[in-house]
A and B are shown apart, each in its own frame.
Chain A
Amino acid sequence: MRRIIAALIASVDGLIEGPNGELDWVDSWEDPFDLLPQ
């Protein structure tokens, strides 16, 4: 059976967006989850 791997970026206080949907605090979206095949 295939596995499902969930991946999220959060702030230290457990938030994923600012109050208006801001994502500018994420400096890069370049695979911090290590999803790319090695």
Chain B
Amino acid sequence: MYPGYEQYWGAILANPNGVLPFTGRVATSGEIEYARFAQKTPHYVLSKTLDYVAWKNTRIVRNVEEIRKLKQLPGKDIHAVGGATLVCTLMNSALIDEFRLVVAPVVLGAGKALVKDVNKRHPLKLVDTKALESGKIRLTYSL
């Protein structure tokens, strides 16, 4: 997951008006804004194999216990923006406090499931709903 993140947001920073990998279009103004925010925000990359990442201000962590320790340190909230595997791993370790799910107006029919390897039931409390542009809806749950 991380290599794609670095490739996508790094491409925007390198050339905000260029055609992007994965999407084949140019970045929106909001994406450029996010890329610049991400550039100056500390990142943690959870990986068992990576030894180097190009993203500035980044620390590689090897397991969820390191994330548990990071969570206990003073500082701002941590956003887990990886894929479903990361989210399920964190959920199984009781490390997620809030879940923001954006539902896009499309039925894919086949593909990778949002939640596949969570090992028990997690009741969620609805905190907020918001209709977004292009027909998306954001559901915010606390755990």
Contact = CB atoms under 8 A, between A and B. Distances in A.
Given A12-B104, A25-B106, A26-B104, A6 B99 contact: yes
Interface in B94-143: 95-115, 130, 132, 134, 136, 138
Interface residues of A, number: 36
A2 to B, nearest CB: 5
B8 interface: yes
23 contacts: A2-B72, A2-B78, A3-B78, A3-B97, A4-B90, A4-B96, A7-B80, A8-B83, A10-B104, A12-B103, A12-B105, A12-B107, A13-B109, A15-B108, A15-B114, A16-B111, A16-B112, A18-B111, A21-B112, A25-B108, A30-B28, A32-B132, A37-B37
